[in-house]
Every structure is written in structure tokens, then in C-alpha cells.
Amino acid sequence: MDYMNKKRPQQVVGMAYVPWQNWGELYEPAKALQCGTLFAVLNKPFIGCRCDRKR
């Protein structure tokens, strides 16, 4: 039986919620390129660790 030919209801692949971004302090172009963002409030430090820790 060919499952692709069966009638099925429309399915939503995914939905996203994206809040409005308020304009605030902006970086100068050189600093924005260095930080990877134009918006100062989005410049968050990366706090992570390596995944290959030995136990």
C-alpha cells in the first residue's frame, strides 16, 4: 500500500514565537563585526564546556 497517496489532514511542520526586538544601544560597525551582533543586549558570553570530558 502506498502511504503517500492516503488522504491525511494538513500537518503543521513547526511554529515559532519570536518576540519583538526593541531598538536600544547599537554597536559601532567594527565592534558589531567583532562581537557578531549589532545589538548590545544580544551580546551574551558563551558559557559552555567541551563534550568530550573523560569520566
Position 32 scores a pLDDT of 95
Classify residue 23 as left (phi > 0), alpha (psi -120 to 50) or beta.
beta
- By C-alpha distance, which of 39, 36, 35, 37 is closest to 25? 39
Give Cα 11 to chain centroid, integer Å: 23
pLDDT at 43 over 80: yes
Q: What mean pLDDT do residues 30-34 have? A: 96
Mean predicted confidence (pLDDT) in 30-46: 91
Q: How far apart are CA 12 and CA 55, in angstroms?
A: 42
Please measure the distance between the N-terminal and C-terminal CA atoms of the chain and give it in whole angstroms.
49
4-31 tens-digit pLDDT: 556 666 777 888 888 887 888 999 999 9
